[in-house]
Amino acid sequence: MVNPNVQGKKYPATNPYLVGREKIREFAHAVKSTNPINLDVFAAQAAGYNDVVAPPTFAVVIQERSLATVLNDPEADIDFSRVVHGDQRFIHARPIVAGDELVSVLEVASVKTLGAHSMVTFETKIFAEGDELVCTAISTLVVRGGE
Amino acid sequence: MTHINIASLEVGQVIGTSEFLLTRDSLVRYAGASGDFNPIHYRDDFAQSVGLDGVLAHGMLTMGAAVQVAVDWVGDAGKVIDYGVRFTKPVFVDAKDGAVLVVTGKIGEIDAENGEVRVDLTATFNETAVLGKAQARVRL
């Protein structure tokens, strides 16, 4: 059972994550993108970007770094072996581009209990240098109760 | 600007359909690219030990592949400004044959004033929907 008292708890900003060009290409291939904007620097620059653009779900890599902090927080008491991903959303103020240095700040938006299960919603704000908001990632995990 | 004329679009119009073959190789590749090394995505014995029928695809791989239909339509991955899904059913990936994900995108809403369109995606595996409320807001 997830501790309902962590609703509203904010976790400190993660260490900066430098978005690499090859990491974007690797992730793009993994999600089966063939979009030149993800893969080809010249195509991305012709479209007005500084470098290759990350696929729309790449922000999950940054979100995971914040989530790891929560999953290791004894106060939250989340049993990762019982976690199922319920839903996910990424709201982009602008796309993530190779060369970005990103930090994320996570807040536990809500903790709900449904019978033996808990539903925890996390809101992770991802910032580039100069506190520029790039993306808000919203994730709900379902934590199955014990048998 | 894209090649798409917003005035020519209609709600309900199909913008594209794609099939994605997810194999165990795809899952290992996604695990490495994303950093999600949960063994339910590559070890049958582990998946079965937690009550699953077998290895299943990362929900985030299904989500990431599905949006490619919208990306291919608009031609620029950076134009997808808001994308959300619910994970409703697992995609079991057979060791030999993999799993075929079929994704179709339709126009769900047109916001001509802001030059934005909502693309509603359906993703099915074995003719069962595996994503719910999969919606991508695209800036044209």
pLDDT < 70 regions, chain A: 146-147
User: B32 pLDDT exceeds 80?
Assistant: yes
**Closest CB to A31 among B50, B68, B76:** B68
The 3-state DSSP class for residue B39 equals helix
Give pLDDT tens digits for B44-97: 999 999 889 999 999 999 999 999 999 999 999 999 999 999 999 999 999 999
Chain A residue at shortest CA distance from B24: A30
Q: Which of A47, A54, A86 sits opposite B86 (nearest CB)?
A: A86
For residue A32, give the nearest of B68, B83, B86 by CB distance.
B68
CA A135 to chain centre: 9
The confidence score (pLDDT) of residue A108 equals 97
Predicted pLDDT of residue A147: 53
Binary contact (A64, B30; C-beta < 8 A): no
Buried b or exposed e, range B43-52, using 16+ CB within 10 angstroms: eeeebeeeee
The domains located in chain A, with CATH, are 4-18+54-143 (3.10.129.10)
Q: What percent of chain A has pLDDT over 90?
A: 87
Using a pLDDT cut of 90, give the percent of chain B over it.
95
> Best mutation site among B83, B93, B100, B139 for testing chain A: the one with the most A CBs within 10 Å?
B83
Residue A83 Cα to chain centre, angstroms: 16
Angle, CA of B31, B37 and B42, to the nearest 5°: 75
* Position B2 confidence tier, pLDDT thresholds 50, 70, 90: low
Cβ contacts of B82 on chain A, cutoff 8 Å: 89-92
Is A104's Cβ below 8 Å from some Cβ in B?
no
Q: How far is B15 from chain A (nearest CA, A)?
A: 16
CB-nearest to A56 from B20, B72, B80 is B80
Average the pLDDT over B5-16 and give the result: 96
- Shortest Cα distance from B11 to chain A (angstroms)? 22
The set of residues, in sequence order, having a beta carbon less than 8 Å from that of B114 and lying 6+ positions away, is B139
Chain A 24-63, residues with CB within 8 Å of chain B CB atoms: 26-35, 37-38, 47, 49, 53-57, 60-61
pLDDT digits (tens, 9 = 90+) for B103-128: 999 999 999 999 999 999 999 999 99
Taking only the tens place, the pLDDT of each residue in A49-86 is: 999 999 999 999 999 999 999 999 999 988 887 888 99
Output phi, psi for B68, to 5 deg: -60, -25
Whether A26 and B61 lie within 8 Å, measured CB to CB? no
Whether the complex's predicted ipTM is more than 0.90 is answered with yes
In the predicted model, is pLDDT for residue B129 greater than 70?
yes
| Amino acid identity, position A8 | G
Provide the pLDDT for residue A144.
84
Give every CB contact of residue B8 below 8 A, 6+ residues apart in sequence.
none
Judge whether A103 and A15 are in contact, CB under 8 Å: yes
CATH for B6-22+58-139 (3.10.20.30, 3.30.930.10, 2.60.120.590, 3.10.129.10): 3.10.129.10
Look at B35 and A61 and tell me if their CB atoms are within 8 Å.
Answer: yes
The amino acid sitting at A61 is V
